[in-house]
Amino acid sequence: MKQYIFNIHDVVLLMTAAECLLLAVFQAILPTRSRHDGRLLIAFLLIIAVASACTLALWNDQFSLAPWLEQTLLPYLLFSALLLKGPAIYLYVCSLTRQNFTFTRGMALHLLPALLVILCLAIFNISSNDLRHAAAGQGFSATVISLVWDLASLAPFAYAVAALRQLRRYRHALKDEYSHYSEVELNWLTALVWGVCVAWAWTTVVHVVAKFSSQSVADYMGIADNYLSFILINAFFAYSLTYAHQLLATQPEETSQERVPEEDEPSEPAIEKVRNAMESDKIYLKKNLNLEQFSDRIALPAKEVSAVINKHFGTNFFEYVNSYRVEAAKSLLADPGKADMTVLDVLLESGFNSKSAFHRFFSRLVGMSPTEFRKQALADAKVS
């Protein structure tokens, strides 16, 4: 009777490893290879390739490798990959969402979990067989193996959560610095990172279930984990080709040494400058207005303008500018002399440059669509 080396689930791992290698090579020849996000994506792909190949080699009994590779080197490669995939995805997100992102010495701290596990493997001379039969083992060595697996399962999930927090900070930064931005690229990246978070949370669940349930249940859950990884790898590569380069830059975050104490309340002259720029100069009519352009126009530092908008007016730059634009649109829509203007003409003349953003923002602030508002306002004007 024929014996198959790989079953269909093993093939998924094999395809994931092979595809990651091919995508890493392809990413390396793209123009974005010189950017940090391109390099980090290549690193992430290679790490996933190693993790998939090592997982396949560890749990497949139908083929064997050289003894030194299978028993000695394999555990080091496997756990290094499992504990480096988290930092790789976190730093990839940081490189996309931080202006002038650079590698620093402090980032070496992300290597500590992997180095700690490698040290444990070396001290206790843990082999592949020890990893396979850890559940049946006893003693201090089995406890160490259990803790190593725990760390390899939990650490990537923690990094995925950190990546989500970074995206949240980036979204807030966009609203503080831009009056208009496309949410498509950011929403896609957020969805992908949520996918990673869910997938790695599932990995943690599989690990916990394996401790307290039957092996067959854990195996089926682990197989689903492999399929999720395969799907996510394709999604990340597609994102890097289509949307990654379109994300807007934000001001770099201040370090604790750079932060200076801020006044409790902005000065009255600064408040008046910001108010006059909006009410007299109607600077909000400028399309794609950002905080830097606004601050240059009124000769105030960007930090001071941001402080006025945040602390005095209690909002962010995005909301502040667009609220004026909505008021301008309401005036145009309610004017009988402008009844021949289309809604598109109105939104463009009000400073908006996106139909979807205008409708979404107008409906949220006014409580009805622009068309409904115009109909009601013109009807009221006729009655009066």
Say yes or no: 61 and 198 in one domain: yes
Residues 305 and 163 in one domain: no
Q: Are residues 233 and 159 in the same domain?
A: yes
Could you give the residue ranges of the DSSP H alpha helices within the chain? Answer: 8-28, 36-59, 67, 74-97, 112-123, 128-132, 140-177, 184-212, 215-242, 268-279, 291-298, 302-307, 317-334, 343-349, 355-366, 370-383
Beta bridge partners of 178: 290
> Into how many domains does the chain fold?
2
How high does pLDDT run on average in the chain? 84
Task: Annotate 314-375 with DSSP letters as a single string.
Answer: -S-HHHHHHHHHHHHHHHHHH-GGGTTS-HHHHHHHTT---HHHHHHHHHHHHSS-HHHHHH
CATH of the domain at 347: 1.10.10.60
Give residue 300's domain range. 268-383
User: Taking 80 as the threshold, does the pLDDT of residue 215 lie above it?
Assistant: no
How does residue 218 score in pLDDT terms, banded at 50, 70 and 90?
A: low
pTM: 0.81
- Provide the pLDDT confidence category of residue 282 given band limits of 50, 70 and 90: very high
Q: Is residue 224 in some structural domain?
A: yes
231 and 330 share a domain? no
pLDDT score recorded for residue 140: 67
Question: 274 and 241 share a domain?
Answer: no
Kindly state the average pLDDT of the residues 36-58. 90
Q: Do 306 and 165 fall within a single domain?
A: no
Q: Are residues 236 and 281 in the same domain?
A: no
One-letter amino acid for residue 279 of the chain = E
Q: Is residue 259 part of a domain?
A: no
| pLDDT at site 219 | 64
> Region 62-89: what's the mean pLDDT?
87
177 and 326 housed in the same domain: no
Determine which of 200-209, 241-250, 276-285 has the lowest per-residue pLDDT on average.
241-250
Calculate the CA 243 to chain-centre distance: 12
- pLDDT, tens digit (0-9, with 9 covering 90-100), for 106-138: 999 999 999 999 999 999 888 888 887 765 555
CATH, residue 228:
1.20.1070
φ/ψ of 178, rounded to 5, equals -130, 145
Decide if 258 is inside a domain: no
